[in-house]
Amino acid sequence: MVLFMALCAITPVPGGVIHSGADVVTAAEMIEALQEVDIVFIGEKHDDSFAHEWELFIWESLASGDRALALEMFETDVQPVLDAYLAGEISEEEFLAESRPWGNYQSDYAPMVEFAKENGCRVIAANVPRSFAAMVARGGFSAVLDEPGFEDISIDSSNALYKEMFLATMEAIGDQMHGMPVAPENLYRAQLLKDAVMARSIFNEKVVFVCGSFHSDFHSGIPDQISSDSYLAVTVLGEGEEYSPDMADFVIFRQDM
């Protein structure tokens, strides 16, 4: 049997305080717990540099030959391009030109991808292509039923709290929607599609999954769509965000409460 050992993290432990329920734990204690599960979710606010520091540290601490990095920030259809880059078959310039990276890719996500590349780890492009999410946002699930790859997708829509939180968020940012001709219910269906596709992308995989915190906080979102119980969730609390002990298994603060 081949044994895979975790690689040595090269990023120092970021600052902050880690809460696990009512307890404060060390980074080493958190990493030890995360090593025991197949799936580690790290929920972020996408523009939070503090969260990106912790993501890199956790990924470097857990990366191994049998644990991949999964990213919401790349869509499933660019997996061949991502694989070619990791294998050294194309240049970084070609990779960026063909993979539709997010605007903050170079500063916030490239360090994790480069660590994977340098150490022979896989990276999974996990998210649904945005064109399909837009189709569902406009026309509901029926809009993608005939599209290749969606015929047998399973979507669990039973989490009432997740729906309530999502619709409340959409209502709160309604002024930013600029009159988009979409129904809130269909926006929620598009959110569920993203969660389901991201869950399918890590089926039978051992991963560190970096995603927006809404996709994993309160064990909702992607966790609703996976069949495995072997997961733990980490969230990095954003500026001004209200803390709840059941947000995640580990909640990281910039400073103690």
101: left (phi over 0), alpha (psi -120 to 50) or beta: beta
| pTM across the whole model | 0.92
Q: Where are the domains of the chain?
A: 17-253
Could you read off the pLDDT of 195-211 as tens digits, one per residue?
Answer: 999 999 999 999 999 99
The CB density around residue 68, as the number of other CB atoms within 10 Å, is 20
Please tell me the predicted confidence (pLDDT) of residue 151: 83
Tokens of 34: 């995360």
157, with CB counted inside 10 A (0-12, 13-18, 19+), is: middle
Could you read off the pLDDT of 26-79 as tens digits, one per residue?
Answer: 999 999 999 999 999 999 999 999 999 999 999 999 999 999 999 999 999 999
Q: What percent of the chain has pLDDT over 70?
A: 93
Name the CATH architecture for the domain at 17-253.
Answer: 3-Layer(aba) Sandwich (3.40)
pLDDT band, very low/low/confident/very high, at 6 (cuts 50, 70, 90) = low
